[in-house]
Amino acid sequence: MSLVMLNMPAHPTNRWSRYGQKIEYIVLHYVGAVSTAKNNGEYFANTANLGASAHYFVDETTVVSSVPLQESAGHCGVDYSGARAPFWGKCCNRNSIGIEMCCKKDSRGNWYLEPETVTNALTLVKMLMQRYGIDLGHVVRHYDVCWKICPEPWVRDESQWRAFKERLEEKNTQPKWYEKSGEWAEAKKLGITDGTRPEDKATRAEVAAMVLRAKKLEARP
């Protein structure tokens, strides 16, 4: 099953400035209700003044981008620990990325995360770690920031959290699609692209520049 990526910008009242702070942390949450990533994306896009938000919502099939990464989401700014939680005062809304994982309840009423949801969150976290130079020690639970029981399954059962962190350490030895084809390296060699951000989305300005460079190469004698 392929992973669906949706961009559903949160309502302007549900996101804030980072005030120049650098992204240093990734914070994992659970949504605390049975729902889908798309449901959450639509809710935060269409409902004003919620006082909370996240950058991403993840379920078994979908990752929804909600608050743009250049802005701050309201996901870990309330303290339940009396300033005793290990990352309180270090990790905050302005220097972190918030990822909400969709959850379900079993027959006993316990929250749980589908394995596919965890895998999709893992893929997203790895990508963000690489993009922003975030190390494993700066990937934390909401609980570690302020002692809120979140993500509940990973607080109730710490072994699940440890397993997630161990999977983050695993190295992907398989070559990327652009490494297999050789076309990316050739495009870099020809000057069509500078070779950075091979898996990021391109703006229209960047696409136009690359097309123009390719056409200039074609026109050479």
DSSP assignments along 13-60, one per residue: GG-EE-TTPPP-EEEEEEEEEE--HHHHHHHHHH----S---SEEE-S
Q: How much is the pLDDT for 173?
A: 40
* pLDDT tier, 12 (very low <50, low <70, confident <90, very high otherwise): very high
Angstrom distance (rounded) from CA 88 to CA 80: 10
Cα–Cα dist 135/125, whole Å: 11
In whole angstroms, what is the distance from residue 209 CA to residue 65 CA? 26
- 192 has pLDDT over 90: no
Is the predicted pLDDT of residue 182 greater than 70, yes or no?
Answer: no
Q: What is the pLDDT of residue 221?
A: 66
The mean per-residue pLDDT over the stretch 181-190 comes to: 69
**Which residue spans within 74-198 are E strands per DSSP?**
96-105, 111-112, 139-141
How large is the average pLDDT for residues 42-64?
A: 98
**Residue-wise pLDDT tens digits, 90-146:** 999 999 999 999 999 999 999 999 999 999 999 999 999 999 999 999 999 999 999
Averaged over 155-176, what is the pLDDT? 84
pLDDT at 215: 82
pLDDT at 178 (0 to 100): 55
- Mean pLDDT (the chain) is 90
- Please give the DSSP secondary-structure letter assigned to residue 197: -
Query: What tokens were used for 120?
Result: 């999709």
Query: In the predicted model, is pLDDT for residue 189 greater than 80?
Result: no
| Contact predicate 148/80, CB 8 Å | yes
Q: 75 with 8: CB under 8 angstroms?
A: no
> What's the rounded Cα separation, in Å, for the pair 221 and 137?
54
